[in-house]
Amino acid sequence: MRSGELGAGIDGEPEGSGAESLGGSEGAGVEEPGAGEKAEGPGLRAAIEAILMVVDEPVAEVTLAQVLERPTHEVVAELRALAAEYTAAGRGFELRDVAGGWRYYTRADCASVVERFVRDGQQTRLTQAALETLAVVAYRQPVSRARVAAIRGVNSDGVMRTLVARGLVEEAGTDPESQAVLYRTSSYFLERLGLKDLSELPELAPFLPDDVENLEETTK
């Protein structure tokens, strides 16, 4: 009986063939699409765009071809097609072939907008340390970084570099005795504060402590 049942289970159509056929069909249904998706992956154009979005220097055509495992001439054709498409669509960026490679750049006629965003946008996010340092430079200029640090009571080198990078502070020669670099506020600083010159800076006296003379001595 058991032997016969086992045989029927293997040879009989209702149980054996149907079950195996169903199981085989499910297996094929799961494996085939998966294998197909893996083999296809993103298209050449999408792959090129994805790589160019993360690079910080121009990428050579040969490098792209090697990474994407495609003929170089196909990659070059796609790069040129992308560049032409961006230009025709009037996008805010363009794809350029420079320095032996390809990279995205801001379109030239958008440069003023980007510059305004970088400079004005960053200035609105000045830290407390940056504001303090900027105030010291504004009221004590020309002043060295060591002098600023003495007044603030903390090293200000990093903050000073930030202010210089943002165009609010600039070098103003060197101290004749210590040879230290001196700093002053820039014309851009006056422009952003709406001042004609430094004489229009608010009076500092109302904000100083009563023992300002002793404080001054300690910072020298």
Task: Kindly tell me the burial class for residue 136, based on how many C-beta atoms sit within 10 Å of its own C-beta (0-12, 13-18, 19 or more).
Answer: buried
Predicted confidence (pLDDT) per residue in 80-91, tens digit: 999 999 999 989
Calculate the CA dihedral of residues 158, 161, 165, 170 and round it to 10 degrees. 150
Tell me the chain's radius of gyration from C-alpha atoms: 34
Is residue 133 within 8 A of residue 166, CB to CB? The reply is: no
Query: Which tokens belong to 185?
Result: 């506020």
Q: pLDDT, tens digit, for every residue of 111-121?
A: 888 887 776 65
Instruction: Give the whole-angstrom CA distance, residue 182 versus residue 142.
Output: 6
Considering the entire predicted model, what is its pTM?
A: 0.42
CA 94, chain centre distance (Å): 17
Give yes or no for residue 142 having a pLDDT over 70: yes
Phi and psi at residue 22, to the nearest 5°:
-65, -45
Per the prediction, the chain carries an average pLDDT of 77
Confidence of residue 67 (pLDDT cuts 50, 70, 90): very high
Cβ atoms within 10 Å, residue 114: 12
Share of residues in the chain with pLDDT > 90 (%): 35
Q: What is the DSSP-derived secondary structure letter of residue 202?
A: P
Query: What's phi and psi for 218, nearest 5 deg?
Result: -70, -20
pLDDT at 191: 84
